[in-house]
A and B are shown apart, each in its own frame.
Chain A
Amino acid sequence: MFLVKGLKINKEKIIINIFLIVSVTTILILLGIFLFLFFTGIKTFNEISFKEIFFGTDWNPTAYGEPSWGILSLLVGTLIVTLGALIFAIPLGIASSIYLAEIASPKTREFLKPTIEMIAGIPSVVLGLIGIFFLSPLIAGLFGLSNGLNGLIASFIVGIMILPTIISVSEDVLISLPKEFNEASLALGATKWQTIKMTLIPAALSGIGGAIMLGLGRAVGETMAVLMVAGNSRGMPTSILDPVRPITANIAIEIKEVVSGSLHYEALFLLGLILFVITFCVNVISEIIINKQTKKYKW
Chain B
Amino acid sequence: MVKIIIKNLKFWYGKKQVLDDINLLIENKKITALIGPSGCGKSTLLRCMNRMNDLISSSKIEGNLIYNNKDIHKDYEDVSILRKQIGMVFQKPNPFPMSIFENVSYGLRAAGIKDKEILKKIVEESLKRADLWDEVKDRLDSSAFSLSGGQQQRLCITRALAINPDVILLDEPCSALDPIATAKIEKLLIKLKDEMTIIIVTHNMHQARRISDKTIYMLDGKVIEYSETKSLFVKPKNKLTKDYINGEFG
Q: Hey, which bits of chain A sit against chain B, CB under 8 A?
A: 105-106, 178, 180-191, 194, 198-199, 202-203, 296-297, 299
Q: Within the assembled complex, what's the spacing in Å between the Cα atoms of A198 and B156?
A: 17
Q: Are A183 and B97 in touch, CB under 8 angstroms? A: no
Contact of B110 among A106, A183, A198, A203 (CB under 8 A): A198
Q: Are B87 and A188 in touch, CB under 8 angstroms? A: yes
17 pairs of residues in contact across A and B, judged by CB atoms under 8 Å:
A105-B57, A180-B90, A181-B94, A181-B96, A185-B96, A185-B106, A187-B87, A187-B90, A188-B159, A188-B160, A189-B80, A189-B107, A199-B96, A202-B97, A203-B97, A296-B97, A299-B92
Q: Are B52 and A190 in touch, CB under 8 angstroms? A: no
Q: Within the assembled complex, what's the spacing in Å between the Cα atoms of A182 and B159?
A: 15
Give the nearest-CB partner of A180 in chain B. Answer: B94
A-B interface, 10 closest residue pairs, ranked by CB to CB distance from nearest:
A189-B84, A180-B94, A190-B110, A188-B107, A187-B88, A189-B83, A189-B80, A184-B94, A194-B110, A191-B80
Q: How far is the CB of A29 from chain B (nearest CB, A)?
A: 42
Contact of B80 among A182, A190, A198, A203 (CB under 8 A): A190
Q: Are A186 and B83 in touch, CB under 8 angstroms? A: yes
Tally of A-B Cβ pairs under 8 angstroms: 69
Q: How far is the CB of B26 from chain A (nearest CB, A)?
A: 18
- For window 38-81 of B, CB contacts with A under 8 Å fall at 50, 52, 55, 57, 80-81
Q: Are B106 and A183 in touch, CB under 8 angstroms? A: no
Give the nearest-CB partner of B106 in chain A. Answer: A188
Asked if B111 is at the interface of the complex by the 8 Å CB criterion, the answer is: yes
Q: Are B110 and A184 in touch, CB under 8 angstroms? A: no
Contact of A189 among B55, B81, B95, B96 (CB under 8 A): B81
Asked if B109 is at the interface of the complex by the 8 Å CB criterion, the answer is: yes
Q: Are A198 and B106 in touch, CB under 8 angstroms? A: yes
- For window 139-160 of B, CB contacts with A under 8 Å fall at 156, 159-160
Contact of B57 among A106, A191, A202 (CB under 8 A): A106
Q: Hey, which bits of chain B sit against chain A, CB under 8 A?
A: 50, 52, 55, 57, 80-81, 83-84, 87-88, 90, 92, 94-98, 106-107, 109-111, 156, 159-160, 163
Q: Are B110 and A189 in touch, CB under 8 angstroms? A: yes
Q: How far is the CB of B158 from chain A (nearest CB, A)?
A: 11
Q: Within the assembled complex, what's the spacing in Å between the Cα atoms of A190 and B96?
A: 13
What are the residues of chain A within 8 A of B57 when measuring CB–CB? 105-106
Give the nearest-CB partner of B94 in chain A. Answer: A180
Q: How far is the CB of A231 from chain B (nearest CB, A)?
A: 46
Q: Are A183 and B107 in touch, CB under 8 angstroms? A: no
Give the nearest-CB partner of A195 in chain B. Answer: B110
Contact of A183 among B52, B81, B109 (CB under 8 A): B52
In addition to A185-B96, A189-B163, 7 A-B residue pairs with Cβ atoms within 8 Å of each other are A105-B57, A183-B52, A185-B110, A186-B80, A187-B50, A187-B87, A187-B160
What are the residues of chain A within 8 A of B106 when measuring CB–CB? 185, 188, 190, 198
Q: How far is the CB of B44 from chain A (nearest CB, A)?
A: 14
Q: How far is the CB of B159 from chain A (nearest CB, A)?
A: 7
Give the nearest-CB partner of B78 in chain A. Answer: A191
Q: Within the assembled complex, what's the spacing in Å between the Cα atoms of A189 and B86?
A: 9
Contact of B109 among A105, A106, A198, A202 (CB under 8 A): A198
Contact of A188 among B92, B98, B110 (CB under 8 A): B110
